[in-house]
Amino acid sequence: MNLHRLAAASALALALLSPTAQAATLAADNQWHAILVDDATAQSFGVEWIDDAGAALHFNFSIDAGFVGKLTVVDTGFSGDEFRVYNGAALLGSTSTAVDGDATGAITFEPVDALADNNFSRGMFWLGAGTHDVTGVLSRSLAVGGTPLNATSGALRLEVSPVPEPASLATLLAGLSLLTVWLRRRGN
């Protein structure tokens, strides 16, 4: 196991087991919620998501049957950071590869601006019905002089929408099939 994986696994374990971990309820309101990472101020001295007080941070929420959730995670601050995102102990995935940033490069603290800028890492994760406990760790940090900074900011948001009913999906597919046949005949 390489050093980054060991650090991420250790940080995740500390975040999950820490008695000072702060749980926040994540509302499906499409609003951004801030996350921080700073190994110097984190109570565990790790690279897990933390709140302003340095306590490990995780987000709890439920998705009702018949609905699906889209969790969006984005890096803010200087570009060059990436996150691993977990639901409980299960890895949901990683945010996209970031473009290395520096003090003169891409910088924004607005999640909407970072999401629109390909210099910043982002990820979208689909979640089904059930109860979820989302947390994350910094898996790649902007390096300053060859040394990882291990401090960044980011944000996440949750959108929930109904799952299309099978009958509606079947009707849509039948309509698209008829449209395809009609367009082919029209072309001849």
Q: Catalogue all structural domains in the chain, each as residue range(s) with its CATH number.
A: 3-163 (2.60.120)
Mean pLDDT of 167-183: 78
pTM, 2 dp = 0.77
Backbone torsions φ then ψ of 5, nearest 5 degrees: -65, -40
Over residues 55-108, the pLDDT tens digits come to 999 999 999 999 999 999 999 998 889 999 999 999 999 999 877 666 566 889
DSSP 97-139: PPPP--TTS-EE--HHHHHH-TTS-EEEEEE-SEEEEEEEEEE
Tell me how far apart the alpha carbons of residues 18 and 10 are, in angstroms, rounded to a whole number: 12
- Burial, 172: exposed, middle or buried (Cβ in 10 Å; 0-12, 13-18, 19+)? exposed
Can you tell me the mean pLDDT for 154-158?
97
- Between 20 and 81, where is the model more confident? 81
The tokens for 167 are: 């009958």
| Residues pairing with 136 in the sheet | 85
Burial (CB < 10 A; 0-12, 13-18, 19+), residue 13, is: middle
Higher pLDDT, 107 or 137: 137
User: φ, ψ for residue 89 (rounded to 5)?
Assistant: -95, -5
